[in-house]
Structure 1
Amino acid sequence: MTLPNPPSFRLDGQRALVAGASSGIGLACATALAEAGAEVTLAARRIEALEEITGEMTARGWKAAALRLDVADVEATAATVADHGPFDILVNSAGVAKHTKATETTPEDFDTVMGVNLRGAYFLTQAVARGLIAAGKPGSLINISSQMGHVGGLDRAVYCASKFAVEGFTKAMALEFGPQGIRINTVCPTFILTSFTQATFDDPAKRDWLMQKIKLGRVGETEDIMGAVLYLASPASSLVTGTAILVDGGWTAD
């Protein structure tokens, strides 16, 4: 009997762009891809933080470079991606949140959230896809969405709207890009402990609510996202496109 060959999770020879890579989930994703052998370009608005991170990565023998990028500026993003691409892998972890009651949402907050989470994500994905298509290359595009792209949340109407929209364009783009061998998926985390969510976890009432909803009964860590992103970036997921991986501890199973 001939046994099947297990798929590889290695990314040697692949070029990856990680947006929102200066901290939190984005930094964790960049670390996972670099450790797996990819040449990783870490992108964010805070270039000083990126340069410090890439210095630590290259000291470990990994391939990493820093790139200033503001996904809300779609014209500059398109030009930057065209200049530095093509990229075989995209991980878009850039995002913002403005949590208020729906009756108190301002147009300014709405535009800020949608400008990054939806408009920025859409046109960054478009830019990387264009580069791959022009080069005749396959690729894997990954948007960090949220469990809130699948369920509702109190005081999160705008945030939920932005993430539901990301789930929608991911499915539509999967149909369009599939014939070119370009896959596109989302990773949908639950609440992950980062500097941005620390205040939520520090509030006893909110933490109790989170622990009731997360069926595995523990706080999410950035390391919990790394395996899902590595899987989607690698040949191990070569038949996976147009779908979402929920890393939510069972939140959406309820």
Structure 2
Amino acid sequence: MEIKFDGKRALVTGAGKGLGRAIAVKLAACGAKTVALSRTQDDLDSLKAECPAIETCLADLSDWTTARQTIQGLGHFDLLVNSAGVSRVGPFLETKEEDFDYVFNTNVKALYNVSQVVAKSMVEKKSGGAIVQLSSAASTQALKDHAVYCSTKGAVDSLTTVMALELGPHNIRTNCVNPTVTMTAMGVYAWSDPAKANPVLNRIPLGRFAEVEDVVNSVLFLLSDKASYLNGVTLPVEGGLLIG
């Protein structure tokens, strides 16, 4: 099944590393005029060297007003992938306000802000469009020491359904991809210890964690016209983890 985005303009947040970067590169390969947004210039420079067709944008999404102005200045988009995300790990009883604010400000507040700006342009221009959020299987599957992170992903899932409800009449589809542990460079580092990884792997019928391509392909499918009747979906990309 070939997916093409010729004539489409796409914005990917959190595109400097990991899944966001891989998504931006694949979108460009599929014909989309892609803008990659990151808060780290070195990451954007290396991405531009890897894929010269990608337009890059340096921005810190934690600043509500500045982020809005930056996104508005980039112009109209047909596709949006909210991939920017952070985490702070620790026991529920030891979570500090600064930890809570740091994770929620990026994973929920910034996502809300960016989506609002991009969707308003879609509505005003009557262009329709597609938005995909990078959520997580952790939105419904509790992870020890991840109380704040899990909470943000639950919020993303809920926000996605409301966006789907309100934006659907404007022919704007909003969906989520909810992967389990994914073998980005960070994922390999964080889950390389068998004592940590095996209890989770043993619950996955397919017997492996997600590869980057598993998630990227799911995102591209939901952005494409092949998924033109999918709206408000939370798509689990977790090898069957949640069925046990």
TM interval, shorter chain, is over 0.9
Q: 1:197 and 1:10 mapped to 2: Cα distance?
A: 29
Matching residue within 34, 44, 58 for 1:40: 34
Q: Which amino acid aligns with 1:38?
A: A
User: Post-superposition, which runs of at least 4 consecutive aligned residues in structure 1 deviate over 3 A?
Assistant: none
* Cα-to-partner distance string for 1:230-249 (whole Å, 9 max, x where unaligned): 10111111111111111111
Counterpart position of 1:31? 25
Matched, 1:70 2:60: yes
Q: 1:89 and 1:217 mapped to 2: Cα distance?
A: 33
Q: Which amino acid aligns with 1:198?
A: V
Partner of 2:191, secondary structure, is helix
Counterpart position of 1:54? 48
Matching residue within 4, 7, 11 for 1:10: 4
Q: Which amino acid aligns with 2:8?
A: Q
The Cα of 1:25 is off from its aligned counterpart by: 0.6
Counterpart position of 1:117? 107
Matching residue within 121, 136, 158 for 1:131: 121
Q: 1:237 and 1:76 mapped to 2: Cα distance?
A: 33
Structure 1 residue runs of 5 or longer lacking an equivalent are 1-5
Contact (CA 8 Å) 1:173, 1:184: kept in 2 or not?
yes
Q: 2:139 and 2:75 mapped to 1: Cα distance?
A: 29
Aligned CA-pair RMSD: 1.4
Matching residue within 165, 171, 195 for 1:205: 195
The 5 Å alignment of 1:84-163 reads 84-163=74-153
Q: 1:39 and 1:47 mapped to 2: Cα distance?
A: 20
Matched, 1:250 2:240: yes
The Cα of 1:210 is off from its aligned counterpart by: 2.2
Contact (CA 8 Å) 2:39, 2:58: kept in 1 or not?
yes
Partner of 1:197, secondary structure, is helix
* Cα-to-partner distance string for 1:121-151 (whole Å, 9 max, x where unaligned): 1111111111211222111011100001122
**TM-score, normalization: structure 1?**
0.92
Q: 2:183 and 2:115 mapped to 1: Cα distance?
A: 26
Contact (CA 8 Å) 2:130, 2:173: kept in 1 or not?
yes
Q: 1:75 and 1:196 mapped to 2: Cα distance?
A: 30
Q: 1:86 and 1:150 mapped to 2: Cα distance?
A: 33
Matched, 1:222 2:212: yes
Q: Which amino acid aligns with 1:29?
A: I
Structure 2 residue runs of 5 or longer lacking an equivalent are none
Partner of 1:196, secondary structure, is helix
Counterpart position of 1:3? none
Q: 2:88 and 2:203 mapped to 1: Cα distance?
A: 21
User: What number of residue pairs does the alignment pair up?
Assistant: 244
The Cα of 1:78 is off from its aligned counterpart by: 1.1
Q: 1:104 and 1:217 mapped to 2: Cα distance?
A: 33
Q: 2:81 and 2:64 mapped to 1: Cα distance?
A: 16
Q: State which drifts further: 68-77 or 142-151.
A: 68-77
Q: 1:98 and 1:144 mapped to 2: Cα distance?
A: 17
* Cα-to-partner distance string for 1:16-53 (whole Å, 9 max, x where unaligned): 00001111110111122111110110110012221221
Contact (CA 8 Å) 1:91, 1:144: kept in 2 or not?
yes
The Cα of 1:93 is off from its aligned counterpart by: 0.8
Counterpart position of 1:21? 15
Q: 2:212 and 2:60 mapped to 1: Cα distance?
A: 22
Question: What percentage of residue pairs aligned between the two structures are identical?
Answer: 36
Counterpart position of 1:191? 181
